[in-house]
Amino acid sequence: MAKTNPKVIARQKRIRRIRKKITGTAERPRMRVFRSNRHIYVQLIDDTRQATLVSMSTGDREFDGSDCKGKCEQARKVGLIVARRAKDAGINEVVFDRGGNIYHGRVKALSEGAREGGLKF
């Protein structure tokens, strides 16, 4: 059996602790953020149907990060695009799920970009 990294276990515990309190509905879906070293991903999830309504990432075809200087600017731009896609899908309010990450840096920039785009949470 392989040893599991304690940081991974701690993050999984944080995710479970957050998910106990947060659920998404069709009217107010859960905005889930995943941050890797290279990319940032966001999904709007309806937990009652267990379906992804809207998704966006820095690896998406629509995303053009050539004018962005850093990862925080890329995250802000992803937030703006996901807000536009949510508006097109008829979603105005979301519940923010930071995915076990600290509300700082790229996660904060993404949420601020989504708020600039018109999402409320």
The string of pLDDT tens digits covering residues 29-76 is: 999 999 999 999 999 999 999 999 999 999 999 899 889 999 999 999
Locate the domains of the chain by residue range: 6-116
If one looks up domain 6-116 in CATH, what number appears? 3.30.420.100
Q: Per-residue pLDDT tens for 9-39? A: 999 999 999 999 999 988 999 999 999 999 9
User: What is the DSSP track for the chain?
Assistant: -PPPPHHHHHHHHHHHHHHHH----SSS-EEEEEE-SS-EEEEEEETTTTEEEEEEETTSTT---TT--SHHHHHHHHHHHHHHHHHHTT--B-EEE-TTS-SSTHHHHHHHHHHHTT-B-
